[in-house]
Amino acid sequence: MDYYGPTYQAGVVDIPGSTENFTSGNQSAIIPSLAIRYQDFLFTGSYFTKQNYGFTGSNGTPSTAKREETDMHFGYYVLPTLAVTLGYKEVKQDFTGKNYKYSGPIIGAAASAPLTKGYSLYGNFGYGALKAKFPVGFTDNTGHNGLDADYYLGEIGIAYSFDIKATIPSAKALTATLGYRNQTLATKNFAVGITGSNPALSRSTQLRDNTEGLALGLSVTF
């Protein structure tokens, strides 16, 4: 996202401020994760490995960005197939040297439902109240270098478990998953200048960062 402040030249032009959103092409990402369960207690952690993305702005100028994420969650199974979680998330974005950081607490739920033998449905859902920190020298029209942001996560799909005890005696199962994942960061109350002739006037808008697509998973249960 880029922000362009309002400009004014007497008798010539009065241009309001604006934000510009970019959309990248499809890009695969590797997300290694670890889950530890003891009785009804659960700990999970995952790392969205750093990925490079390409963008083209409205003026046709190409640019690049890097992204990485870290998640840690503690949970409790309130039902055999339903866990509630509380955790922490951090998202780092680098737009050609401009570093943005989102971090904060997340509440969530993980559920599953058995189907025919070996198959099951699964779903992961979360909401976070994060803090957005902008790069040095980058502010909205009111001078804010950081704002509050809502985080939403939804993933739903199907899983199949293979019996691999004959190959790995210590393993209970090998599970493959195929789902659809949607993740949104919504930065709230970003001030955009209304007119160059009075730069102090602003309107509030929301900046949305959306990542979505197919999610393929492979996990081993011990």
User: Using one digit for the tens of pLDDT, what is the confidence trace for 119-164?
Assistant: 999 999 999 999 999 998 889 889 999 999 999 999 999 999 988 8
User: What pTM was estimated for this model as a whole?
Assistant: 0.86
Residue 10, in any domain of the structure: no
Residue 200, in any domain of the structure: yes
Residue 172, in any domain of the structure: yes
Residue 5, in any domain of the structure: no
Percent of the chain with pLDDT strictly greater than 70: 94
* Domain of 110, in residue numbers: 33-52+67-221
Residue 4 confidence (pLDDT) = 66
Residue 24, in any domain of the structure: no
104-122 pLDDT tens trace: 999 999 999 999 888 999 9
Q: How many separate domains does the chain show?
A: 1
Residue 72, in any domain of the structure: yes
Residue 58, in any domain of the structure: no
Spell out the residues 6+ positions from residue 172 whose beta carbon is closer than 8 angstroms to its own: 165, 221, 222
Residue 77, in any domain of the structure: yes
CATH number assigned to the domain comprising residue 210: 2.40.160.20
153-199 pLDDT tens trace: 999 999 999 888 777 787 788 999 999 999 999 999 999 888 877 87
